[in-house]
Structure 1
């Protein structure tokens, strides 16, 4: 009798996990009890998602431990879901790991609802007012490029750590945007330290055990050793010290009677004072400001430097691409003057190179974990409120049907009759209401950094001829490439 009972319970356990719990969801890979499909994420890459798309169609279910997520791998279905029905999927699954320790209750990366909407609107508005799409922001970026030129010129013909030079430039741009201050030559150690903290946060999260803890918070209770919160708490606190110091110094300098603001923090503090005068001490509180600084600094530095280092790596790997970029620059620009965004329409191949860099680097392998805010339907499947939904943009950008020979770096795929061809499926900044709010700034930086360095310098391999590593299989995130290069002036 006992044996029959045990056998029945085992049968019911597996029947539930392998069949019953999956009955109302789109088909997908069979999940294991408790861990779901998580073990299949151990090998980095998009091949597994392409395999499942081919097997189950453009919409399938993937189980993060005991929680189902609907994966969308078709651009057309993404538009229907995240654009046309954007409000339904504006919320994301908030990471609850050691929430109290990490203090991530604020910002825009880990908030939903009115708090998120309010500060996303405010940030987009301030980026526009600070000169995004105007000459003011471009002037700040070009200032950093000229400072980079000084660094490079002092080491012409020598091996240099080019990614580190790029890091400082991008770091100064985001710091100028937030605080209207840059890291001067005597402050480079401070920037190096801050960058090491951000790299440390990334490196911890890229370890498989902590990647799993991020996706499945309760796993931290059963995986031996320190939790993700324990590993990152100190680094986050050190970054907070920097942001608090910057903000408080800024607060003393601001003329609150002026309308115009010169940076994000100044605009925030003025809005904070206005709200507090009206009795609102929560919406624009100090904790929210520090969290916004962290979110914007982290996102503004990481994604841009990752893309830049991959772009230079692809460039060094492809001699034919180098030749075409130099030929276009010589024909259109013809000297070593600073290139501006006004030149962009005349440099279609260079722009195609940037598009292909973003497509091939494909730096978001596992996109935001959205949740449905109401009951809805996706491709005929009922989706209950609270169900997780993921726009798998990486699969779209490596789809062989859209991009033949998708693993081949080929900027020419974006050129048609000598002109730049728009391809909607290139969506490196994601899609929908959670689309990267720094997209405009990142696009401007990428064009200006690539165009001006390629125009002024001949970028070559280091003296040993080592090509940058293009292997993504070592980490759970796409990380910056590390390499040395030798630069010489193209115009004397």
Structure 2
């Protein structure tokens, strides 16, 4: 009797899983019960191949199941633009994971008015602090001069260059937040902070915690400690660090001054104005700590990851090295500092940066957007609450746009000796959730690459060439390697 009842139930379950729940969605790979299509992201990691294969099989719009939740994946630039730019308000919300206690702060984990208010405020403050202007450029170049001073003392020695660059990028972020850099006298403070950041990032990179990051409810069924339990101490220590910096800053600043020297000063002044008007929530202390966390984590990890991959590609491609040095010698011809004012005269270096961002492709699975209303994508009906993803990693490896996409080839961005714009290169994503710090990151990446390659001959140190294998991690991780430097110009 039990067997007779079991077979219909199994048949009904399979009918629901394989057909019924998928009937009104775009076609896509068949999801497994409970886990959906998640296991495909690990074969091989970090998931590029699965999305490329599905895009070829099902077209530029298909359904991918994150456990039991469907997400519509878009791999066509034209459809991404139609969806996330022309109809951007519909997709400005994202799936929220929160801080483990059901609270949502910052800009990475907020939606609605809170997100809009703080995204607008942050963009305005970054612009006022000199983002895209000479003021920010000067801060970056001063940091590069400090970097040069350190590297010049270790010419001919093995140097852990990624570790040194980490500090420089961290200084720029801390200058933006607190108008303070991590000097050599405070080396332990930066190492401490970086240890906390790495601890959180490395934990989320483990597959079981990566799944919990994407689908929080799975923490209830996956054995062992949860993602929240593993990262709670690191997050609390980071919050303590930011809280201490903020309180010191609160005592130092003059609230009567119109001009602000950094983001936190601007926030504290706005907080005071809001509280005087009776609003104690929108610019609360917890929101400020979350904003510091978001800006620091996003700015440090993405920039250093891209820098280390760029140098790795540089070391692996001798022909690219020669072309970059040839251009630098013709245009610059000395060890002077290179600024963004030189950028238009260095098209191959800019092409190298473009190709680094394309090939490094550091976001294998893009932001999890959610439709705010019933709508259409590519002519197909999409219900309110459906997940939607602009899968930029698949687009940047599209062999129709970028022939032989796995090959590192900056010439694909050069046409008649000039830099060619390719719309499909969107490493900072697309739409209203596009990276807040895009302008700063572009300025940093160009300045670091240009000045490192111009000032130094860079050779692989002990340990040899850096690994280019991405298949060990769920995220694209920074490269680790040593280099030996020699000066290209006598001073």
- How far apart are residue 285 of structure 1 and its match? 0.7
Paired with 1:50 and 1:432, the residues of 2 have a C-alpha distance of 22
Corresponding residue number in structure 1 for 2:54: 52
Paired with 2:113 and 2:429, the residues of 1 have a C-alpha distance of 21
Paired with 1:187 and 1:402, the residues of 2 have a C-alpha distance of 47
Q: In the TM superposition, what are the counterparts of 1:46-85 in structure 2 within 5 Å?
A: 46-85=48-87
Contact 2:304–2:478 (Cα < 8 Å) also in 1: yes
Paired with 2:82 and 2:285, the residues of 1 have a C-alpha distance of 38
Paired with 2:86 and 2:447, the residues of 1 have a C-alpha distance of 33
Greater mean deviation of Cα atoms: 274-283 or 437-446:
274-283
- How far apart are residue 343 of structure 1 and its match? 0.3
Paired with 1:25 and 1:133, the residues of 2 have a C-alpha distance of 42
Contact 2:98–2:109 (Cα < 8 Å) also in 1: no
Give the TM-score taking structure 2 as reference length.
Answer: 0.98
SS, match of residue 69 in structure 1:
strand
Paired with 1:214 and 1:130, the residues of 2 have a C-alpha distance of 33
- How far apart are residue 129 of structure 1 and its match? 0.3
Corresponding residue number in structure 1 for 2:3: 3
TM-aligned CA distance change 1:110 to 1:412, over 3 Å: same
Q: Deviations over 1:325-370 (max 9, x none)?
A: 0000000001011111100000000000000000000000010000
- How far apart are residue 4 of structure 1 and its match? 2.7
Corresponding residue number in structure 2 for 1:487: 485
Corresponding residue number in structure 2 for 1:227: 226
> What number of residue pairs does the alignment pair up?
488
Q: Deviations over 1:131-175 (max 9, x none)?
A: 011111011111110110111011001110000111010000000
Give the TM-score taking structure 1 as reference length.
Answer: 0.98
TM-aligned CA distance change 1:96 to 1:251, over 3 Å: closer
Paired with 1:286 and 1:241, the residues of 2 have a C-alpha distance of 12
Q: Deviations over 1:292-342 (max 9, x none)?
A: 000001111110000000000000000000000000000000101111110
- How far apart are residue 2 of structure 1 and its match? 4.0
Contact 1:206–1:476 (Cα < 8 Å) also in 2: yes
Q: Deviations over 1:27-49 (max 9, x none)?
A: 00001111111111223131111
SS, match of residue 460 in structure 1:
strand
Contact 1:251–1:269 (Cα < 8 Å) also in 2: yes
Corresponding residue number in structure 1 for 2:36: 36
Paired with 2:99 and 2:246, the residues of 1 have a C-alpha distance of 27
Q: Is 1:123 equivalent to 2:137 in the alignment?
A: no
SS, match of residue 93 in structure 2:
coil
Paired with 2:368 and 2:220, the residues of 1 have a C-alpha distance of 21
Paired with 1:405 and 1:38, the residues of 2 have a C-alpha distance of 27
Q: Deviations over 1:215-273 (max 9, x none)?
A: 12121111111000000000011111110010000000111111000100000111111
Contact 1:369–1:389 (Cα < 8 Å) also in 2: yes
Contact 1:97–1:213 (Cα < 8 Å) also in 2: no
- How far apart are residue 6 of structure 1 and its match? 1.8
Paired with 1:379 and 1:413, the residues of 2 have a C-alpha distance of 29
Contact 1:31–1:37 (Cα < 8 Å) also in 2: yes
- How far apart are residue 382 of structure 1 and its match? 0.9
Corresponding residue number in structure 1 for 2:20: 20
Contact 1:97–1:214 (Cα < 8 Å) also in 2: no
Contact 2:370–2:386 (Cα < 8 Å) also in 1: yes
Paired with 2:455 and 2:2, the residues of 1 have a C-alpha distance of 81
Q: Is 1:414 equivalent to 2:413 in the alignment?
A: yes
Q: In the TM superposition, what are the counterparts of 1:394-413 in structure 2 within 5 Å?
A: 394-413=393-412
Contact 1:307–1:357 (Cα < 8 Å) also in 2: yes
Corresponding residue number in structure 1 for 2:253: 254
Corresponding residue number in structure 2 for 1:86: 88
Q: Which runs of no fewer than 5 residues in structure 1 stay unpaired?
A: none
Contact 1:364–1:394 (Cα < 8 Å) also in 2: yes
Contact 1:64–1:216 (Cα < 8 Å) also in 2: yes
Corresponding residue number in structure 1 for 2:272: 273
SS, match of residue 68 in structure 1:
strand
Corresponding residue number in structure 2 for 1:140: 139
Contact 1:338–1:452 (Cα < 8 Å) also in 2: yes
Corresponding residue number in structure 2 for 1:478: 476
Paired with 2:67 and 2:321, the residues of 1 have a C-alpha distance of 46
Contact 1:97–1:228 (Cα < 8 Å) also in 2: no
Contact 1:156–1:488 (Cα < 8 Å) also in 2: yes
SS, match of residue 475 in structure 1:
coil
Contact 2:98–2:104 (Cα < 8 Å) also in 1: no
Corresponding residue number in structure 2 for 1:375: 374
SS, match of residue 488 in structure 1:
strand
Contact 1:106–1:291 (Cα < 8 Å) also in 2: yes
SS, match of residue 94 in structure 2:
coil
Q: Which runs of no fewer than 5 residues in structure 2 stay unpaired?
A: none
Contact 1:34–1:65 (Cα < 8 Å) also in 2: yes
- How far apart are residue 99 of structure 1 and its match? 3.0
Paired with 2:435 and 2:99, the residues of 1 have a C-alpha distance of 23
- How far apart are residue 279 of structure 1 and its match? 0.9
- How far apart are residue 3 of structure 1 and its match? 3.1
Contact 1:96–1:217 (Cα < 8 Å) also in 2: no
SS, match of residue 272 in structure 2:
helix
